[in-house]
Structure 1
Amino acid sequence: MEQRYPSIRVGGGPRQRGRVYGEAARDRVRISREAYEEAFGRTAGWTWAQARDAAAAYVAPVEAAFPQYLEEMRGIAEGAGLPFEDVLTLNTRTEVMYAAKARQAASLGRGECTSFALLGERTASGRLLAGQNWDWLAHCTETVVVLEVEQPGAVNFVTVVEAGLLAKASLNAAGLAVATNALVTSADRGAPGLPYHVILRALADCETPADGVDVVLGHVRSSSANYLLASADGLVLDLEAAPGDYRAVSVLEPEGGALVHTNHFLRPPAGQDDVSVWAMSDTHLRRQRALPALADPGRRHDPESIRGVLADHAGYPFGVCSHADPRVADGPAWATITAVVMDPAERRLWLTSGRPCEAPLLEVELGGLLHEPTPLAKHRPAG
């Protein structure tokens, strides 16, 4: 069985990479733009023009920190035949939702990602494995792409992402894997700062977990999110980040050889209310199921056994493997879109074409993309 999500290989400078990406994924980018226009209208009563106006507030923070990512967005827009403002809005969709005071939209959908990392003591290979179920609006089954990025003088990476967005779950040539979860606090109101998906793109460029910590803590963030970083050296850090600067971040480490995160804060930020459970009410239930299964000292997991855990239906339809609620005739349909498993040391990534209960976990053939030397690698001491 082949993956139904297309693979797109891009190279060159930021604008060129974006242009090739946008052109290759043109139909999927346009589906995404139309779907979010409908979502903003349905959940917030906003027109697409209003959403674009709200997105404009994030140009300055991105320009100040990572201007090359704006160039990538401009290239995507050119390739897809859309205005830059449309692609900017897609990449700031999380922040625009909060700017529209549309938390009610989040409360309608229970599924929002279960991420994990297993140290070598919990895996059959003895190597760290990391990944996630990605749960979101059901239209994303028609927009996911596997974006393979060659960057001269920088770090090559692959990311499983909605067409038109910069990055989501990723694995790079330095052996750094990134998984993620949405979080929500009372401070999530769309204040200008670095957007969620721009931070994910910056993490794909990092060569070490410490670089990733610098990205998340070193900038003012606009929205809450959880960033799980796992490296080829077997190191894992999980960063729970609320809006703001370094003072609104908690750092978690694995316990018992495993780390599982869903959509609530394990260490709520001081001075902010964690409203994640209200927004995603199955979050504790999914962690309750996934953590014991993955951390079980009597098991040694491989990618296929992890797929079995990620296919769990306890609490249906809002389980670790999430399905659209059959009781809801109108409104947004939310579901698990795909499962991702990564082996950072071997630079390997597996992906399901749909929910892990229905689709096999297949390895993505990367053709040496992640085996190119990174800028830091040539300086690394032996041993």
Structure 2
Amino acid sequence: MTALRFKEVHLKGGAAERGYQQGKALKSEIAQALAYYKALFNLPDSVLQAQLGPFRQVIEQFKPAYMEEMAAIAQGAGLSADDILLLNARSELLNNLSVSECTTVYNQPTGLLAQNWDWSKALEPLISVLHIEQAQGPRITTLTEPGMLAKVGMNSAGLAVSLNILKSATRLQGLPVHLFLRAVLECESLAQVKALLKTVAVGKASHVLVADAQGEFLSIEFAADKHYLLASDHHGIVIHSNHYLADTQLNTQEAFPSTYERYRRAAEILSYDRSDRGVQSVLLDQSEGLASICRPYSPSALANFGEVGTVFSVLMKPAKKTISIRPGCKADTPFYQLQL
């Protein structure tokens, strides 16, 4: 059986060059993603543009090159710079949207970081793998939505990163988490990632796990104006879905659907098999129906969202600099591997 593969795009040069290359290469995909999210927001463009102001200011203060890269993506795709900023800030703008979401496992003894990304079926054919070569800094491979600067991925320095969305009662206006992920992937050590937390930790509601090639990691819960660092269990395992672990009082709002079921099921599987095969079986588990870790696509209750399910699964081994990818939620779809 021929493995299904996501489109791969190679980007190199300065920020403007890389941005234009992505915009041109993914012009159709970016337009489709933008149309999808605008329908999901269901707000006038003027209202959306007004909400982008604080993000623009934060990004300019943090790293103007990100604004330059997003503007160049827009140019290459024939869109406005605000359109691309909207895509990159969509997690914060959609804060508290209730759909089934992601599950992450980190196996510290074997150095495997694994994740399912659950979201809209409409996005699966649009997902791209970006191979980013910068003039300075490590090479980056990231599995992401078109028009974004990064999502899940790894770099040539041996840092891998995963993402789980969380909820916050607070309006989120910090550095968008997808740009934080890009900043993490530009780091060459966990010490550099810790330094980022001193400047851009606020304004997000997410769990980000960063693992290095030596088997060390940072498991970070962002809760608007606070952040927490989590430890592994006594077996060196970290499991995260879409509820807070550091401060359970933050879960007073209705958590994402199936988050507790997925967490418990992952813990159950790993209680008797903590090998890499056990971790992979967590990502592929469909034993709980629509509450499964590998969720079959089914209609969402949200207007304009469409079907929700597992869009991709990813296994990352920083020590070996390999990323194994599995598109979609069908039981018989194999992984394929990329080597950094």
TM over 0.5: yes
Following TM superposition, by how much is the alpha carbon of 1:220 offset from its aligned partner in structure 2, in angstroms?
4.8
Give the Cα separation in 2 of the matches to 1:330 and 1:137: 12
Q: Residues 327 and 212 of structure 1: is their aligned pair in 2 closer, same or farther, counting only changes over 3 Å?
A: closer
Q: Is this contact kept in 2: 1:184–1:275, CA < 8 A?
A: no
**1:283 has 2:259 as partner:** yes
Partner of 1:202: 183
Following TM superposition, by how much is the alpha carbon of 1:323 offset from its aligned partner in structure 2, in angstroms?
2.5
Aligned length: 337
Partner of 1:249: 227
TM-score, structure 1 length as denominator? Answer: 0.83
**1:273 has 2:254 as partner:** no
Following TM superposition, by how much is the alpha carbon of 1:253 offset from its aligned partner in structure 2, in angstroms?
1.9
**1:181 has 2:154 as partner:** no
Q: Is this contact kept in 2: 1:195–1:221, CA < 8 A?
A: no
Partner SS, residue 16 of structure 2:
helix
Following TM superposition, by how much is the alpha carbon of 1:310 offset from its aligned partner in structure 2, in angstroms?
0.9
The gaps in structure 2 that reach 5 residues or longer are none
**1:338 has 2:312 as partner:** yes
Following TM superposition, by how much is the alpha carbon of 1:295 offset from its aligned partner in structure 2, in angstroms?
4.8
Q: Is this contact kept in 2: 1:195–1:223, CA < 8 A?
A: yes
Give the Cα separation in 2 of the matches to 1:327 and 1:129: 31
Following TM superposition, by how much is the alpha carbon of 1:229 offset from its aligned partner in structure 2, in angstroms?
0.9
The one of 198, 202, 205 equivalent to 1:221 is: 202
Following TM superposition, by how much is the alpha carbon of 1:36 offset from its aligned partner in structure 2, in angstroms?
0.4
Following TM superposition, by how much is the alpha carbon of 1:356 offset from its aligned partner in structure 2, in angstroms?
5.8
Q: Residues 151 and 239 of structure 1: is their aligned pair in 2 closer, same or farther, counting only changes over 3 Å?
A: same
Partner of 1:166: 149
After superposition, the C-alpha distances for 1:244-282 in whole angstroms (9 at most, x for unaligned) are 2xxx1111122112111111110128xx73346x14031
The gaps in structure 1 that reach 5 residues or longer are 121-126, 371-383
Q: Residues 30 and 331 of structure 1: is their aligned pair in 2 closer, same or farther, counting only changes over 3 Å?
A: closer
**1:71 has 2:102 as partner:** no
Partner SS, residue 242 of structure 1:
strand
Give the Cα separation in 2 of the matches to 1:168 and 1:329: 23
Give the Cα separation in 2 of the matches to 1:275 and 1:25: 40
Q: Is this contact kept in 1: 2:107–2:274, CA < 8 A?
A: no
Q: Residues 219 and 32 of structure 1: is their aligned pair in 2 closer, same or farther, counting only changes over 3 Å?
A: same
Partner of 2:52: 55
Q: Residues 147 and 197 of structure 1: is their aligned pair in 2 closer, same or farther, counting only changes over 3 Å?
A: same
Q: Which residue identity is paired with 1:335?
A: G
Q: Residues 87 and 258 of structure 1: is their aligned pair in 2 closer, same or farther, counting only changes over 3 Å?
A: same
Identity of aligned residues (%): 30
Following TM superposition, by how much is the alpha carbon of 1:95 offset from its aligned partner in structure 2, in angstroms?
2.0
Partner of 1:319: 292
Give the Cα separation in 1 of the matches to 2:160 and 2:153: 6
Q: Which runs of 4+ in 1 moved over 4 A?
A: 326-331
Q: Residues 313 and 349 of structure 1: is their aligned pair in 2 closer, same or farther, counting only changes over 3 Å?
A: same
**1:34 has 2:31 as partner:** no
Partner of 2:14: 13
After superposition, the C-alpha distances for 1:316-339 in whole angstroms (9 at most, x for unaligned) are 112101233358696522211000
Indicate the RMSD between aligned Cα atoms, in angstroms: 2.0
Whichever structure has more strand as a proportion of its residues is 2
Q: Which residue identity is paired with 1:346?
A: K
After superposition, the C-alpha distances for 1:325-368 in whole angstroms (9 at most, x for unaligned) are 3586965222110001001011100001212624211112x4xx
Q: Is this contact kept in 1: 2:40–2:304, CA < 8 A?
A: no
Following TM superposition, by how much is the alpha carbon of 1:300 offset from its aligned partner in structure 2, in angstroms?
2.2
Partner SS, residue 224 of structure 2:
coil
TM-score, structure 2 length as denominator? Answer: 0.93
Q: Residues 9 and 167 of structure 1: is their aligned pair in 2 closer, same or farther, counting only changes over 3 Å?
A: same
